[in-house]
Amino acid sequence: MAAVTAQTDWRPGADLRTLRLRAELLRRVRHFFERRDVLEVQTPALSRAATTDPHIHSMATAAGPGEPRFLHTSPELAMKRLLAAGVGDIYQVCPVFRCEESGALHNPEFSMLEYYRVGMDHHDLMRDVADLISAATAGWLRLGEPHFVPYGEAFSDHAGCDPFHDDAATIAAAIAARGVDIPDSIKTDGDALIDLAMATLVSPQLGRGRLSFVYDFPLQQAALARSRPGDPPVAERFEAFIDGLELANGFHELLDPVEQRRRFDADLERRRRLGLPQVAVDERFLAALEAGMPACAGVALGLDRLLMLIAGAKTLGEVLAFGWEKV
């Protein structure tokens, strides 16, 4: 059966026009950073440590003797070690790997642009990302002025609830009133309900005909971002959208090694409760934070998704030379 499939399904998913668009997009990205004196770097795709995030799953390999190595889900931690070593502004374009289903908007291997700007906060970096996307898509997309909206305001506008102050019952009622089915398993889970509302009600409405940024996330979604006290306290994190499609995820980067270890430990506890494998924390990254990483902001941008918008494609398979089902 496999031989028959190979004989009939060997051709690439992307056509020649799209392959040329990808090459030109990469050229424009590199030109953007070259003009700003941002250094291109390359870090290993394999690591002893896997991601602790219970929502992201690393691919294990049998490479080398002893303990397994994991294909990186992002070059983030290795790049931050370079920042701690004093290399300054950096970027990287690389394939990353995640154990997830292949679908219209997901592929277990995809292309990521990750970059860091020293001395910037998340507001500075949002404007920088807007400049990058404008330069990278010039002549292909007509986006106009970028739009910036706080996370709470986006929820109020599109989900009719307050993710910072409303209880789970209120959030569930707002979601149900807008015709979204809520699985029984999350009807009393406030965090899961917020994720559901974001995916079904908020995100699809963002970036309609323009580039939109949502910023200042709930603290429970801080990941590797700084937190900021206030009412409500927030994580200094943003996401970018065009036509309802999430393109980028950025942070005003956390510098505190004690808080970062606490978050890793909390991730591992959530993994334990969910029955997920325990993984090794990246101790070299934590040592780099202890040595001192400069104040900076960083972002990961999905190049394949941006190429989908440029090419007018409906699925990732149309812009990848060979999607998951063809390898």
- Rg (C-alpha) for the chain, rounded Å, is 20
Q: Hey, how many other C-beta atoms are within 10 angstroms of the C-beta on 303?
A: 20
Residues facing residue 240 across a β-bridge:
213, 248
Kindly state the DSSP code that residue 253 receives in the 8-state scheme. B
Mean pLDDT calculated for residue range 256-281: 95
pLDDT digits (tens, 9 = 90+) for 96-130: 999 977 899 999 999 999 999 999 999 999 999 99
Residue 247 and residue 36: Cα distance in Å, rounded?
22
Helix then strand then coil, % of the chain, to nearest 5: 40, 20, 40
Residue 42 and residue 105: Cα distance in Å, rounded?
26
Average pLDDT, the chain: 95
Instruction: Kindly report each contact of residues 218-221 with a partner whose C-beta sits within 8 Å and lies 24 or more positions away, as own/partner.
Output: 218/151, 218/163, 218/164, 218/194, 220/191
Residue 304 and residue 103: Cα distance in Å, rounded?
13
What are the distances in angstroms from CA 188 to CA 36, 182, 185, 194, 197?
48, 10, 8, 11, 14
Residue 164 has a pLDDT of 97
Residue 296 and residue 251: Cα distance in Å, rounded?
9
Residue 165 and residue 232: Cα distance in Å, rounded?
8
Task: Tokens 């699809």: give the residue.
Answer: 204
Helix (H, G, I), strand (E, B) or coil at 48: coil
Task: Tell which phi-psi region holds residue 272, choosing left (phi > 0), alpha (psi between -120 and 50) or beta.
Answer: alpha
Residue 67 has a pLDDT of 77
Residue 4 has a pLDDT of 57
Residue 171 has a pLDDT of 97
Backbone angles phi, psi at 209, to 5 degrees: 75, 10
CA angle centred on 213, ends 234 and 323, rounded to 5°: 110
Whole-number percent of the chain with pLDDT over 70:
98
Q: Hey, how many other C-beta atoms are within 10 angstroms of the C-beta on 272?
A: 12
Residue 138 has a pLDDT of 97
What confidence category does residue 8 fall into, taking pLDDT thresholds of 50, 70 and 90?
A: confident
Residue 1 has a pLDDT of 52
What confidence category does residue 32 fall into, taking pLDDT thresholds of 50, 70 and 90?
A: very high
Nearest Cα neighbor of 246 from 278, 272, 214 is 214
pLDDT digits (tens, 9 = 90+) for 138-167: 999 999 999 999 999 999 999 999 999 999
Contact 281, 264 (CB under 8 A): yes
Whole-number percent of the chain with pLDDT over 90:
92
pLDDT digits (tens, 9 = 90+) for 188-242: 999 999 999 999 999 999 999 999 999 999 999 999 999 999 999 999 999 999 9
Residue 64 has a pLDDT of 64
Residue 37 and residue 50: Cα distance in Å, rounded?
31
Strands (E), 109-152: 109-118, 147-150
Residue 179 and residue 185: Cα distance in Å, rounded?
18
Residue 299 has a pLDDT of 98
